[in-house]
Structure formats: C-alpha cells, structure tokens
A = this chain, B = another copy of it.
C-alpha cells in the first residue's frame, strides 16, 4: 500500500468520456490498495475561454476577479471527477483550494503556496476516500481565491504530495515520459527511466514542456518523487503497484536513487534566439548592472552571457542572448542607454539556436564539453558562444544546424543506445 497523488491535465479531462477514463485510472490505484489524492486541471480549452472573457471585459483587470473567474474551471472538473468515481463505487469527494485550505500569498494571478493544512485531507484519505483536488488554486490571506499561474496544477499536485507525505506524485500527461532529446528530431531518442531533479530542472527550463519548472523546484525542495506517465494508456491494463517497474514513464527523483548515472542524460535545444554584442565597453565595476538593469526593467529575458577579456584590460566585449522576438526592443533599450554604458558599437544577429547538454555525471567527469566541440567541428558547425554550469553546458549556433547538432551530440554521448 502506498499513498499517491495523481495529477491529470486539461487534455486528459477534456470531455466526459475522458473524465471517465481518468476515473478508471484512479479506481485501479484504489483497487490496488493505495490511498489516493487526485489533482485536476480545467477541461481543455475552458481556461482559455475564461481568460478571453476577462480580457474582453477589460485589458487591465483586478487579478482577484481574474482568479475568481478562471479558477472555476478546475472547480467544475473536480466535481465531475468525484461524481464519475462515485458512479464506479469509489468513495470520493471534491476539494477546492479554499476548502482544504491551501493557503497562498497575496500575489493574485501568480500566487505562491505558503501552507497546506492537510490534517483533514489526510484523515479522509486514510479513511479510504479519494480526495479530488481542484488544481491551480488556493486561498489568499484576503479570503479570496488565488490562482498559481498557468500550469499551476503541476505545482498544486507536488505541493499536495509533499503535504500529505505521498510516496509518489504521478503526473499523467499526453507523453509517456521524459526523453533524451526531442523525438521529432532524433527518432532514436529514448524515454529515460529516471532523471534527477536537477537535470529535470535544466530540461524543463529549456523547453521540454512536460512539467512546469516551479513544480520541479518544489519537488526537489520537498523530495517528492514525481513520475511522468501517459494518461492515454488503457487504465485497466497497467500493473502499477508501488515499487513495480511495470508502468511506463519517467521517475524524477533524488540522484541518490539513480544507480547508474550517465555522464550525459539529455540534449535540449531552443530555437529563435538572438545574440547581441556590445563592443569595447569600459571594463569597470557596475558595467553589468548598467546593461542588464534596463533590460530587466523592460521585461526582456536575458539568457547566455559571455564577457570576453579585452587586450589592454580597460575595455571588454559583452555578448548575450535574448529571445528573437525581444531583439528589436533590446536594441532600442540599449541605444537609449548608450551614453551611460559607453559602448563603442553594437552588433546583433538573429536566427540562432541554443543547444544544451545535460548530465549530473559532468560534475565528476572532466572534458565532457570538449567531446562536443570536436564532434560539431567535424560537421563544420560553428560555435558562437559557450556557457557552462555544474551539470550543463550550452552552445550557441546557427539555427540551420539545430537538428544536425542535436543528432550529432545525441550520438556522440552514447544516447542512441536505448533504441
């Protein structure tokens, strides 16, 4: 027997038939003797409909009213799923954020979870009742509904799992796990059995859109073992007893639980990057702040930053990347600051891609990156910038070579072996 959280997203509860299918997944776990809390999103499309109404009413609006409107989608799904479970003979009830209560801060529209009062929830779950929790929402200190921001149901699920000391948090989604790279680029990409929290954080923030970054952070902080799996499998054919390896998916867990650690776990990429270089900037304290402060104020997300050492030590070059859609705005902001920053000239380039190589094994292995440099050189792929961290390095290249680079690196780091 285990205590599980099961989370189902919008496409998994898009209509009544799919909600029934979700109920069968839940019943399977209950029949296997597990204690279950389910976290659900709104029916696919509903949140967009509600959001569009709020925008039609007023482009600038009270986030508290936005939350009251938008949270209704999850309220509906939780009630319907509880009914579907009851009709299958499974004891269940719906819980809205304010009923638990799941307490948040006052940042309506993008609230952070502060505390989950889980006593009653645990009491009911231990008594054999399935708790069907409306995701994405809680209650703020003002006694009003607060939503956690788009994709917040993942965060709800992990937070509930932490609060009720669940053995595992199962995220049911439209893919069957986390892959070594994008299978549309490299068909030999394989589903990973396990990935560490740290690696998943790097994967998620790089566009492997399986899990919200915030939910992975929360899982890491609270040590919540999180299992990504497909909701479209036949619910009854899966043997999912805790500890069994039967169900297909990827477990995101502490690296201690990963026995065979690969040096490189996955290759991620993001297209549509732009590069901006400021030439011959004075090399003095505070210069970074004078460049990146105004960009942050303009809500431009700066990613890779490379500062080169100048010949005489008085001037330096500063290169960084921004999303291609923000490039024009970034140039405008910098031109306005030309006198303050005192750069000599500015260069920019679009149509770039960032390729990232991720693996906790890098910590203990030297020379991992040089393998990539050699492999890309052999394919005549020019590397325009490099950044490194403890468990990842990223390379900026021309976007035309994205697919070739991903396949080359996937092969050279031995990831094709799964196929």
List A residues at the B interface (Cβ < 8 Å). Answer: 16, 19-20, 50, 53-54, 56-58, 60-62, 64-69, 72-73, 75-76, 78-80, 82-84, 86-87, 93-94, 96, 98-99, 143-144
Contacts and interface: CB of A to CB of B under 8 A. Distances in A.
Nearest to A132: B65
A66 B79 CA distance: 7
A82 B73 CA distance: 18
A103 to B, nearest CB: 15
A68 B58 contact: no
Given A19-B57, A57-B84, A94 B79 contact: no
A84 B64 contact: no
Given A16-B53, A57-B19, A75-B75, A94 B80 contact: no
Given A65-B93, A75-B75, A94-B68, A80 B99 contact: no
B143 A99 contact: yes
A251 to B, nearest CB: 32
A62 B76 contact: no
Most chain B beta-carbon neighbours within 10 Å: one of A61, A79, A80: A79
A86 B69 CA distance: 15
Q: How many copies does the complex hold?
A: 2
A144 B120 CA distance: 14
Given A57-B16, A84-B57, A99-B144, A93 B76 contact: no
- The majority secondary structure among interface residues of chain A is helix
A269 B187 CA distance: 74
A52 to B, nearest CB: 9
B80 A64 contact: no
A52 B371 CA distance: 61
B16 A87 contact: no
Contact of A87 (B57, B79, B87, B144): B57
Nearest to A69: B79
Nearest to A49: B76
Contacts of A72: 72-73, 75-76
A29 to B, nearest CB: 20
15 contacts: A53-B76, A57-B87, A58-B86, A60-B87, A61-B83, A61-B87, A65-B79, A65-B80, A65-B93, A65-B94, A67-B79, A68-B78, A69-B76, A69-B79, A99-B143
A93 to B, nearest CB: 7
